[in-house]
Amino acid sequence: MDAERPGPYVDEDGDLMFFPTSGWTYQQARAEAASMARDSIDLDGRSRFERKDMVPVHDHEDWESCSTCPSVECYVFELYEKGWR
């Protein structure tokens, strides 16, 4: 993962990953999502592209109460365990 690249970001439940399109190509995001799914859900982890969407991204700890961070266009990937789909 490149330190200059924004994200990736994860939702509260850890089921969705967001990759800002300004720093990631689709192929880079897809490969990173697959790698992170395998790392976080063992070898049964999988990722699936859901959509491109505008998502508020936060680079700070108090993100739950934040309403000022901008939304950016992101590739959205679902992380899941093999056999659950």
Query: What is the model's pLDDT at position 4?
Result: 77
Instruction: Average the pLDDT over 52-76 and give the result.
Output: 80
DSSP string, 38-77: HHHSGGGEEEEEEEEEEEE---STTGGG---SPEEEEEEE
- Tell whether the model's pLDDT for residue 84 goes beyond 70: no
Q: Peptide bond preceding 8: is omega within 30 degrees of 0, i.e. cis?
A: yes
What confidence tens digit (pLDDT) does each residue in 4-50 have?
778 888 887 878 999 999 999 999 999 999 998 888 776 678 899 99
- Tell whether the model's pLDDT for residue 1 goes beyond 60: no
Query: What is the model's pLDDT at position 75?
Result: 96
Helix (H, G, I), strand (E, B) or coil at 24: coil
